[in-house]
Amino acid sequence: MRTLVVVDGEHYPPVVRAAIGELSDVVGVALLGGNEKLPAGGFPDLGVPLVTGDSADRALEEGLRLFRPDVVVDLSDEPVVDGRTRLRLAARALVAGARYQGADFRFDPPPRPRLASKPSIAVIGTGKRTGKTAVSAQVARVLARGGPSEPEVVDPATFDLSAKALLALADSGRHAASDHLEDAVTAGVVTVGTRRCGGGMAGTPAYDTFAAGVAAADGRPEELVIFEGSGQAVPPVHADATVCVVPASADADLVVGHLGAYRLLLSDLIVITMTDQANGGAASLEDLERSVRRLSPGVRVVHTVFRPDPLEPISGRRVVYVTTAPLPAMASLAEHLQREHDCMVVATSPHLGHREELRRDLESAPDADVLVVELKGAAVDVGVRAALARGMDVVFCANRVVSVGGDGDFRELAVQTAALAENRFRS
């Protein structure tokens, strides 16, 4: 296996050369930094070609580009490379398809086999409740205009996606608010649902049925497929382009540092969501974006907010609005519904992810005509059940992605990403 060795200038060159001599198939060395033990006025002779850079990241990037290794062996140490830097370097190697290993650790590149026979876009995220499904659905809506045990194809034209039908699905023991059902309801496109369990540090699922889902999607006539991740898990297949969803409230150190960097480095478009809810306001949002661009220069970044969009008219009606949005956002979201959809919001709940709290919120809500609810969490087995028992109608609600800054309009960037995916697929 072609081996690239990364070293620093804080070890004596003869010792480094001896260590390299114990390795097989070394094709090059990347000097990450440090000069305490380097010879005056030059670089050491380590017996193989050597590259450098103005930072550890740039040196590794140059080594990956020039030598195209199968494995990167890390012989560096403090103070040049600390634990955070080492994991970020590992992320860069994994994106390049190389294994990254050292004295007592090893990271293998997540398997991403080419399974689709049509262009594909992956939509991944840094965790749960990032807005990943909303972004996936809106990408699907934009492009459409221009977990069951077995993969399940849901075609909105033939699959009953009414509130009563989904409640019956929940009563049968199924998860009636799965992401693929939400996508089908909110985007009106054909979806395929799969299962996954667990997730590794770089997003590899511990168990999944994704390959079978891709096969089901491949057999359909649609010209492009969107692979939606789950939590921070990355779809375990090759995608021609990747969109990463990052909430503005995210911990920048976890998102950009450590192996979180893998998801960003993999991506062509970064969608920062819920920018109106950034912890620390505009300053923290600027810090997050600056960190993203420093990690991945040239990546496109768009700032967005979510706005509730009922899928049926609610004008003139008394509404109970239920969502996964955080409590501080509830007032502005309710105000948006009232202003844009001419309704009266009489109660709200941010507890779709907490069944008991949601049940209590609905029990204490005043009389209303309709439950407006996102298709997530306990929406069906708690929300729909309670609403129908009280004689209320149920209207599912999408979260529309609204651009508020960054490198362009979300819709235009989605179209450009699809074009990039198609060009890569054809090349």
Dihedral angle computed from the Cα positions of residues 155, 158, 164 and 166, in that order, rounded to the nearest 10 degrees: -30
Q: Are residues 370 and 416 in the same domain?
A: no
171 and 286 together in one domain: yes
Same domain, 87 and 154: no
Q: CA 78 to CA 82: how far, in whole Å?
A: 5
List CB contacts of 144: < 8 A, sequence separation 6 or more.
Answer: 187, 188, 189
- Return the exposure string of 255-268: e unless at least 16 CB atoms fall within 10 Å of the residue's CB, then b: bbbbbbbbbbbbbb
> Across 173-299, where does the E strand assignment appear?
191-193, 196-197, 207-208, 225-228, 241-247, 269-273
What CATH number has the domain bearing residue 42? 3.40.50
Could you list the pLDDT tens digit for every one of the 427 residues in the chain?
999 999 999 999 999 999 999 999 999 999 999 999 898 878 999 999 999 999 999 999 999 999 999 999 999 999 999 999 999 999 999 999 999 999 999 999 999 999 999 999 999 999 988 999 999 999 998 887 544 455 666 767 677 778 887 788 787 777 666 777 777 777 788 889 899 999 999 999 999 999 999 999 999 999 999 999 999 999 999 999 999 999 999 999 999 988 999 999 999 999 999 998 876 677 789 999 999 999 999 999 999 999 999 999 999 999 999 999 888 889 999 999 999 999 999 999 999 989 999 999 999 999 999 999 999 889 999 999 999 999 999 999 999 999 999 999 999 999 999 999 999 999 9
| Plot region of 39 (φ>0 → left; ψ -120 to 50 → alpha; else → beta) | beta
Same domain assignment for residues 155 and 274: yes
Task: Classify residue 372: in a domain, yes or no.
Answer: yes
State the Cα–Cα distance between residues 189 and 191, nearest whole angstrom. Answer: 6
Within 8 A by CB and 6+ apart from 262, the residues are: 91, 94, 95, 202, 203
Which residues constitute the domain of residue 346?
Answer: 309-399
CA gap 355, 377 in Å, rounded: 8
Model confidence, pTM = 0.90
Q: Does residue 175 share a domain with residue 252?
A: yes
Number of domains forming the structure of the chain: 3
Query: What is the CATH number for 203?
Result: 3.40.50.300
Looking at the fold, whether 332 and 297 belong to one and the same domain comes out as no
Please check whether residue 114 lies inside any domain of the structure.
no
Is the domain of 159 the same as that of 296?
A: yes
The gap from C-alpha 398 to its chain's centroid, in whole angstroms, comes to: 19
Return d(Cα 20, Cα 207) in angstroms, integer.
37
User: Would residue 187 count as lying in a domain?
Assistant: yes
Cα 307 to Cα 134, 145, 274, 335: the distances in Å are 10, 20, 10, 11
Residues 45, 24 share a domain? yes
Comparing CA positions, the residue from 366, 362, 307 lying closest to residue 337 is: 307
CA dihedral 193, 197, 201, 203 (to 10 degrees): -10
